[in-house]
Amino acid sequence: MTAKNIKIHLPYGKVSAIGPGKADLLEAIAESGSISAAARQMGMSYKRAWDLVDTMNKSFREPLVHTATGGSHGGGAQMTEFGHEVLRCYREIELKSYQAVETELRTLTGLLAPRQ
Amino acid sequence: MTAKNIKIHLPYGKVSAIGPGKADLLEAIAESGSISAAARQMGMSYKRAWDLVDTMNKSFREPLVHTATGGSHGGGAQMTEFGHEVLRCYREIELKSYQAVETELRTLTGLLAPRQ
């Protein structure tokens, strides 16, 4: 069991403003400074990654990622200060909710059948 | 925000022994005493519901649902005492993890754009 077994979704109308996949994507963008590099790293298409960033940017009060134009796949992407704050807050929620039920999750895991 | 925005999955090898969908299915089976009625209520096929029950029964030490044979879609299904215990434990984990981060989730929700 890890914190990854708890998936937090923040609904915004019919979409999810942020969730496990979008948070991982944000992290990959922060590290690589590029949506296309982040997409490759996550094993998703550039279009899919761009759509997820677009959903996040439109769901929150301010953009989480600034995209520069230029080149066929844009000219790089930069997490905003606001984006870093949202990601930090999201990761804290993941960790805190996991820690709150770690014992109970272990108990439930103890009820699983022995693996063959 | 509700506890439903936190999805708890209990991994068992490559499958999820229990998660939000399976827990809801268990509840529907407990209420209706029938996999086919529960499937209808959940808007899924009988086969899909049966497969989910089968996965749960094989993932845990004991069956969560007893199925009786007879008729084209079986002769009814009954939650076991063990099944009730697993479901109760799962719902407690959902609620407790949500309560642990309710304040932080509200803060994050406050960063969403106003809805048009």
Instruction: Look at residue A42 and tell me if it is in a domain.
Output: yes
Residue A85 sits in a domain of what CATH number?
Answer: 1.10.10.10
Query: What are the pLDDT digits (tens) for B55-87?
Result: 999 999 999 999 876 555 556 899 999 999 999
Nearest by CB to B104, from A6, A11, A93: name it: A93
Q: Which residues of B touch A (CB under 8 A)?
A: 1, 5-13, 17-18, 58-61, 82, 85-86, 89-90, 92-93, 96-101, 104-105, 107-109, 111-115
Which domain, by its residues, includes B18? 3-99
Please indicate, yes or no, if residue B113 is contained in any of the structural domains.
Answer: no
List the single residue in B with minimal CA-CA distance to A12. Answer: B112
Single-letter code of the amino acid located at B9: H
CA A74 to each of CA A27, A39, A44, A46, A79: distance values in angstroms, whole numbers, following the listed order: 18, 13, 17, 10, 15
Per-residue pLDDT tens over the stretch A8-63:
999 999 999 999 999 999 999 999 999 999 999 999 999 999 999 999 999 999 99
In chain B, DSSP finds a helix count (H) and a strand count (E) of 4, 5
Residue with tokens 């509200």: B106
Question: Is there a contact between A12 and B92 if contact means CB atoms under 8 Å apart?
Answer: no
Please state the ipTM of this predicted complex. Answer: 0.88
pTM, 2 dp: 0.86
Instruction: Tell me the pLDDT tens digit for each residue of B19-50.
Output: 999 999 999 999 999 999 999 999 999 999 99
So what's the pLDDT on residue A4? 77
Any domain includes A47: yes
